[in-house]
Chains A and B, each alone.
Chain A
Amino acid sequence: MSDHSPTTPHPKRSLAQTLQVDMRLLGMIGSFFAVCIVFNILTDGRFLTPRNIFNLTIQTVSVAIMATGMVFVIVTRHIDLSVGALLATCTAVMAMTQTQWLPNIVGLELGHPLIPWIAIAAGLITGAAIGAGQGWLIGYQGIPAFIVTLGGLLIWRNVGWWMTDGATIGPLDQTYILFGGIGGTLGVFWSWIVGLVASLAAVFGLWSARRNKVAHGFTVKPIWAEAVVMTLTAGAILGFVAILNAYSVPSRVIARNPELFGCATAEGCTAAYGLPYSVLLLSVVAIVMTVIARRTRLGRYIFATGGNPDAAQLSGINTRLLTVKIFAMVGVLSALAGIVASARLGYHTNDIGTLDELRVIAAAVIGGTALSGGIGTIYGAIIGALIMQSLQSGMAMVGVDAPYQNIVVGAVLVLAVWIDIQYRKRMGAKL
């Protein structure tokens, strides 16, 4: 066996090729910046302010968390229409646990330090159990994921309703609502610490990947290219922290409770929000999901199954159990997203997470996840969620009417997929 294809020469290599950065990642970041700059011009500079970037980030978290799981679902050629409804059932469980069941049935007093954590655990278990159940119906019983989760969309939305009698449940626990965004942030000092640690970890990761390649005798990119990538990565992390740290707490908020910001009196006290816990949570989810996708057997099997389900099965992979695991993961992520969403509101409401399934699927697809299976990235889904949220809040700031907003978002979804297909054709991929 041999191939007779001539060795194609590479006389000229573009900068991106030398740096070995993912072209699609660059494209997505580029379009995200384009969206931001356009809105910044249209809003006379109100879009790219620390305050708006902060808000944009915390509004994206909930959808982005679920989108990372949706990537695995779509990669294995399934779909999950139930995430928004699942989120609602999980928040209903968490809200009822902390406001009714633990105080009234178990007898823990409201405000007991264990309450938020028990509630969160209950929510995560609920999400995992429902997700695993749906995965079992899909994997072991052979019911199409579209049908199971379409049923789930109706069932879980209304199980949440039934549990709460349709009432808004709250106010939620003080510790619990720290996950909501603006109510729970790290402050300037700890934000910088987290940023520095993350930058160092990223640089170390890149460096050890290079060392590993050298140890196996593979070719590596020139050292200057490595340095450029390291600098850009660390710069992006620290730059993001700097922006969030630049959003200072308004003086009237400090005046309400100066001690919260480390001052004795409101007089002359300045403070900034820094990294929200919810963004930190999203970062952890993103890292864990990326490690699963790239560095674990589970992830390898997910992508193999997406690329060729028969081959995966013949390689001894239990694709049925894999389906259960994937949907259970999505269930857990929906519960995590539910914590952020309900904590941000401070209440569980009946319509929480409505239409989130569509936002989540759109985020994953805009982020380059192919519905034909086998292709998708975690970072893509998060950037996809960011692009969607920027479009929506940007248009709201410009004053575009609601129907036009949805028309634009819908058109962008189709356009993004079309561009991705054109890009893959150019690259000569058969998929």
Chain B
Amino acid sequence: MSTPLVEMKNVSIAFGGVRAVDDVSIELHAGEVVGLLGHNGAGKSTLIKMLSGAYKMDAGEIWIEGTRATINSPADSRDYNIETIYQTLALADNLDAASNLFLGRELTTKFGLLDDGKMEAETRKIMARLNPNFKKLKEPVSALSGGQRQSVAIARAVYFNAKILIMDEPTAALGVHETAMVAELIGELKKQGLGIFLISHDTREMMELCDRVAVMKNGQMIGSERVEDVTEDDILSMIILGKNPKAKT
């Protein structure tokens, strides 16, 4: 097989004695969607936050496209073209869509001042592609609906040509129609060759969207299987019992 886009090897992190993620290894290939499943507190978000730079791992290695990566901060993660859409969306509610989209990576004029005009124009362009109904460009994002806020968060990840995309519960707050649009977008990004980590509680949705699912329980990796090889019941038993029925004994 080709070199994985991301390889997390034997990664561990503990918070005050609790091993939130315990010796977990996982890989992600280009053009692949990997779903992370598990109960609340299973360690899915924690694992992914080490990749996005929000947490610093205690032990283990991250390899990106065959080279060892050092990720100590969200900025490092962005330098490796890793973009994250957080469950909380991580938007500054008092700022408008353009300011949020470019937060931390503002476009500037030749004098080093913010180029708000250019940023707004770019925001209009990408929003026209992602969500044609999006019109409230001048208002703080606190004035937007859940779906509109989500599209700002997604635009932020898509705009900067991510290679690796992490989506933490991207459809949790959305209606049926909006969920379908997220699914469509995931398919499109996959075709463009992005690798996507998807976190969700919805097993059925994961079976539809993902190529592979990885199940975690109590900070440990129970197993990762191609979706065509398992049934929904198999996955559920992995989540609940913490055992992989497919594992060779």
Binding site for B on A (CB under 8 A): 1-3, 5, 7, 212-213, 215-218, 291, 294-297, 300-301, 303-308, 310-317, 374-375, 428-431
Contacts and interface: CB of A to CB of B under 8 A. Distances in A.
A431 B104 contact: no
Interface string B34-68: 00000000000000000011100000000000000
Interface in B192-221: none
Contacts of B86: 314
Nearest to B89: A311
A1 B145 CA distance: 10
Contact of A212 (B88, B117, B131, B145): B117
Tell me which of A303, A304, A431 has the highest count of chain B C-beta atoms within 10 A of its own C-beta: A304
B115 to A, nearest CB: 9
Contacts of A314: 52, 54, 74, 84, 86, 90
Contact of A1 (B92, B116, B118, B131): B131
A303 B181 contact: no
A308 B74 contact: no
A212 to B, nearest CB: 5
B222 interface: no
B103 A317 contact: yes
A431 B143 CA distance: 10
Nearest to B179: A1
A182 B181 CA distance: 67
25 contacts: A1-B147, A1-B148, A2-B133, A2-B147, A3-B147, A5-B145, A216-B120, A291-B113, A295-B114, A296-B113, A300-B99, A300-B106, A303-B92, A303-B95, A304-B99, A307-B92, A308-B93, A310-B90, A314-B54, A314-B84, A316-B75, A374-B93, A374-B94, A429-B142, A429-B143
Size class of the B contact interface (CB-based, 8 Å):
35 or more
Contacts of A297: 106, 108, 114
B88 A310 contact: yes
B73 A316 contact: yes
Contact of B113 (A216, A295, A315, A428): A295
B88 A306 contact: no
A312 B73 CA distance: 12
Given A5-B145, A314-B54, A213 B117 contact: yes
B148 A308 contact: no
A54 B205 CA distance: 70
B120 A218 contact: yes
B93 A307 contact: yes
Interface of B: 52-54, 73-75, 78, 84, 86, 88-95, 99-100, 103-106, 108, 112-114, 116-118, 120-121, 130-135, 140, 142-145, 147-148, 150-151, 154, 174, 177-178, 181-182
Nearest to A213: B117
A314 B86 CA distance: 9
B74 A1 contact: no
Given A217-B121, A308-B93, A431 B142 contact: yes
B74 A315 contact: yes
A1 B150 CA distance: 8
B101 to A, nearest CB: 10
B75 A307 contact: no
Given A304-B92, A316-B74, A3 B145 contact: yes
Nearest to B79: A316
Given A2-B178, A296-B113, A429-B140, A303 B131 contact: no
A231 B54 CA distance: 50
Contact of B133 (A3, A295, A428): A3
A384 to B, nearest CB: 19
B207 to A, nearest CB: 22
Contacts of B130: 1
A218 B178 CA distance: 28
A304 B103 contact: yes
Nearest to A373: B94
Given A294-B114, A307-B94, 16 more contacts: A1-B130, A1-B151, A2-B147, A2-B178, A3-B133, A3-B148, A216-B120, A297-B114, A300-B114, A303-B95, A308-B93, A308-B94, A310-B90, A311-B100, A316-B78, A431-B142
10 cross-chain pairs, A with B, having the tightest CB-CB distances, nearest first: A316-B75, A307-B94, A374-B94, A315-B104, A307-B92, A311-B90, A304-B92, A316-B104, A315-B103, A295-B113
Given A374-B93, A429-B142, A312 B133 contact: no
Tell me which of B94, B104, B178 has the highest count of chain A C-beta atoms within 10 A of its own C-beta: B94
A295 B52 CA distance: 28
A317 B104 contact: yes
B54 A304 contact: no
Contacts of B92: 303-305, 307-308, 311-312, 374
Contacts of A216: 117-118, 120-121
A354 B29 CA distance: 64
Contacts of A310: 88, 90
B79 to A, nearest CB: 9
Nearest to A299: B114
A31 to B, nearest CB: 24
A389 B211 CA distance: 68
A110 B175 CA distance: 76
Contact of A304 (B75, B95, B118, B135): B95
Contacts of B54: 313-314
A313 B54 CA distance: 8
Nearest to A314: B90
Nearest to A211: B117
Contacts of B178: 1-2
A311 B103 contact: yes
Contacts of A375: 94
B242 to A, nearest CB: 30
